Amino acid sequence: MKLPYSFDDARRAIRITDPRLPQPWINYLSNGDLHAFVSQAGGGLAWWKSPLKNRISRYRQYNLPIDSPGFYTYIREADGTTWSPTWRPVETPLDDWCAEHQPGLTRFIARRGALEATLELFIAPGTNSLIWDISVANHSDAAIKVDVFGYVEFCLLDWKQDTDWACYVKHNLQVEFDTAAQCVAYVYRHFHFNPHLADCPLVTFAASAPVASWSCDRDAFVGNYRDERNPVAVERNACDNQPCLGGDPAAALQVPLTVPAGSAARFQFFLSTEEHAIIAWPRALEAARTTLAHLRTPGTVDQLKASLSAWWANHLDVFQAILPDQDIARQVNTWSPVQSLHTARYSRSISQHAAGVRTLGFRDTCQDMLALAYRRPAQATEMFRYLVSQQYEDGHTPHQCNPVEKLPAESRIHIDNPLWVAMLAHAIISETGDLSLLDEQIPWLNAADNLSHIGSASVWTHLLRITDFIEANLGTHHLPLIHHGDWNDSIGKFAKKGKGESLFAAQQYVFVLGHLAALARARSDEPTAARLDALREKQTAAILACGWDGAWWRRAFDDDGQPVGTASAEFGKIWLNTQSWSVLANVGTPEQNQRAMDSVAELLDTNHCGIMKLTPSFKSFPEVQDPYSGYSPGCGENGAIFCHANTWAIIAEALLGRPDKAWHYYRQLVPHLALQKVGLERYKAEPYAYVSNIIGPENPKYGWANVTQVSGTAAWMDLAVTQYLLGIRPELDGLRVAPCLPSDWPGFTVTRLFRGCTLHIEVRRSNDEPPGLSLDGKALPSPVIPASALADRPSASALLILPKSDVPY
Q: Which of residues 339-358 bind ligand GLC (CB under 6 A)?
A: 348
Closest separation between CB of residue 348 and ligand GLC, Å? 5
CB of 51 to ligand GLC, least distance (A): 16
Minimum CB separation of residue 660 from ligand GLC in Å reads: 28
Residue 355 or 789: the one with the smaller Cβ distance to ligand GLC is 355
Distance CA 242, CA 231 (A): 16
Q: Which is nearer to ligand GLC, 111 or 399 (CB)?
A: 399
Q: Using the rule CB under 6 A, give the single segment among 91-99, 175-183, 482-490, 789-797 that binds ligand GLC.
A: 482-490
Residue whose C-alpha is closest to residue 595's, from 550, 657, 650, 658: 550
- Burial degree of 540 (CB within 10 A; 0-12, 13-18, 19+): buried
Each residue 364-383 as x (binds ligand GLC by CB under 6 A) or -, in order, gives x-------------------
By Cβ distance, which residue is nearest to ligand GLC? 489
**Cα(580)–Cα(575) distance, integer angstroms:** 10
Q: Which residues, including other chains, have CB under 8 Å from residue 32's CB and lie 6 or more apart? A: 125, 345
Alpha helices of 358-443 — where are they, by DSSP H? 362-373, 377-388, 417-432
**Minimal distance in Å, beta carbon 712 to ligand GLC?**
6
505 vs 737, which CB is nearer to ligand GLC? Answer: 505
Query: Nearest to residue 708, comparing CAs of 334, 343, 315?
Result: 343
The residue range among 21-29, 97-105, 486-494, 728-736 that interacts with ligand GLC, by the rule CB under 6 A, is 486-494
Given 3-state DSSP classes, what are the helix, strand and coil percentages for the chain, each rounded to the nearest 5?
Answer: 35, 30, 40
Q: Give, as one character, the DSSP assignment of residue 392.
A: B
Residue among 409 and 442 whose Cβ is closer to ligand GLC: 409
Cα-trace Rg, the chain: 28
Shortest approach of ligand GLC to residue 524 CB, angstroms?
36
Annotate each residue in 59-78 with x if it binds ligand GLC (CB under 6 A) or - if it does not, as one string. --------------------
Q: Report the nearest approach of ligand GLC to the CB of residue 450 (Å).
A: 18
Q: How many residues does the chain have?
A: 809
Q: Residue 132 or residue 690: which is nearer to ligand GLC going by CB?
A: 690
Closest CB to ligand GLC among 380 and 643?
643
Separation between Cα atoms, residue 432 and residue 435, nearest integer Å? 8
Closest residue by Cα to residue 494 from 368, 604, 380, 637? 637
Q: Which stretch binds ligand GLC (CB under 6 A): 453-461, 484-492, 500-508, 627-635?
A: 484-492
Question: Which of 356/433 has CB closer to ligand GLC?
Answer: 356
Closest CB to ligand GLC among residues 74, 487: 487
Q: State which residue, 333 or 343, has the beta carbon closest to ligand GLC.
A: 343
Instruction: Return the amino acid letter for 791.
Output: A
Smallest gap from Cβ 611 to ligand GLC, in A, equals 14
Nearer to ligand GLC, 5 or 690 (CB): 690
- Give the binding-site size for ligand GLC (rule: CB under 6 A): 11
Stretch that binds ligand GLC, among 68-76, 385-393, 483-491, 511-519 (CB under 6 A): 483-491
State the nearest-atom distance from the C-beta of 422 to ligand GLC, in Å: 17
Residues 529-558 that bind ligand GLC (CB under 6 A): none
Q: How many C-alpha atoms does 15 have within 13 Å on its Cβ side? A: 12
| Residue 650 CB, nearest approach to ligand GLC (Å) | 17
By rule CB under 6 A, what string of x and - marks binding of each residue 638-657 to ligand GLC?
------x-------------
Our CB check for ligand GLC shows the closer of 248 and 364 to be: 364
C-beta closer to ligand GLC: residue 106 or 488: 488
Strand partners, 105: 102, 122
Closest separation in Å from C-beta 362 to ligand GLC = 9
Taking the C-alpha atoms of residue 131 and residue 124, their distance in angstroms, rounded to an integer, is 8
Which segment (118-126, 218-226, 487-495, 622-630) binds ligand GLC by CB under 6 A?
487-495
| Beta pairing, strands 757-765 & 795-802 | parallel
Determine which residue in the list 488, 582, 592, 706 makes contact with ligand GLC, applying CB under 6 A.
488
∠ CA 66-69-73, rounded to 5°: 125
Name beta bridge partners: 609.
Answer: none
Sign of CA dihedral 641, 647, 651, 654: positive
Residue 511: CB minimum distance to ligand GLC, A: 16
- Are 339 and 690 in contact, with CB atoms under 8 Å apart? yes
Give the span between the Cα atoms of 90 and 94, in whole angstroms.
11
Among 71, 269, 420, 487, binds ligand GLC (CB under 6 A): 487
> Is residue 637 close enough to count as binding ligand GLC by CB under 6 A?
yes
Q: Which stretch binds ligand GLC (CB under 6 A): 277-285, 388-396, 481-489, 519-527?
A: 481-489
Nearer to ligand GLC by C-beta: 132 or 420?
420
What is d(CA 218, CA 765) in angstroms, rounded to the nearest whole number?
A: 64
Q: Which of 712, 734, 739, 808 binds ligand GLC (CB under 6 A)?
A: 712
- 598: contact with ligand GLC by CB under 6 A: no
DSSP state of 749: E
Q: SS3 for 730?
A: strand
**Minimum distance between the CB of residue 401 and ligand GLC, rounded to whole angstroms?**
13
Using CB under 6 A, which of the segments 137-145, 146-154, 360-368, 538-546 binds ligand GLC?
360-368
Nearest approach in angstroms of CB 468 to ligand GLC is 23
**Smallest gap from residue 636 Cβ to ligand GLC (A):** 8
Burial class (CB in 10 A: 0-12, 13-18, 19+), 586: middle
Q: Which is nearer to ligand GLC, 333 or 706 (CB)?
A: 706
Rounding to the nearest 10 degrees, give the CA dihedral for residues 307, 310, 316, 322. Answer: 150
Q: What residue type is assigned to position 677 of the chain? A: K
CA dihedral in degrees (767, 770, 771, 775; nearest 10)? Answer: -130
Following DSSP, what letter does each residue of 174-239 receive, concatenated? EEEEETTTTEEEEEE---SS-GGGGGPPEEEEEESS--SEEEEEHHHHH-TT--TTS-HHHHHT--
DSSP label at 407?
Answer: P
Q: Which amino acid is it at 551? A: A
Task: Report the DSSP beta bridge partners of residue 116.
Answer: 111, 137
Which among 568, 726, 574 has a CA at the least distance from the CA of 662?
726
Return d(Cα 428, Cα 755) in angstroms, integer.
11
Helix (H), strand (E) at residue 44: strand 44-48
Nearer to ligand GLC, 204 or 646 (CB): 646
Which member of 103, 361, 395, 687 binds ligand GLC (CB under 6 A)?
361
Q: How far is the CB of 408 from ligand GLC (least distance, A)?
A: 19
Q: Binding residue for ligand GLC (CB under 6 A) from 18, 235, 489, 733?
A: 489
Give me the 661-700 binding string for ligand GLC, x by CB under 6 A, dash otherwise: -------------------------------x--------
Q: Which residues contact 173 (CB under 8 A, 6 or more apart)?
A: 156, 186, 187, 188, 189, 190, 244, 245, 246, 249
Question: HSE-up of 349 (CA within 13 Å, CB side)?
Answer: 31
Please give the residue ranges that form the binding site for ligand GLC (CB under 6 A): 348, 361, 363-364, 487-489, 637, 644, 692, 712
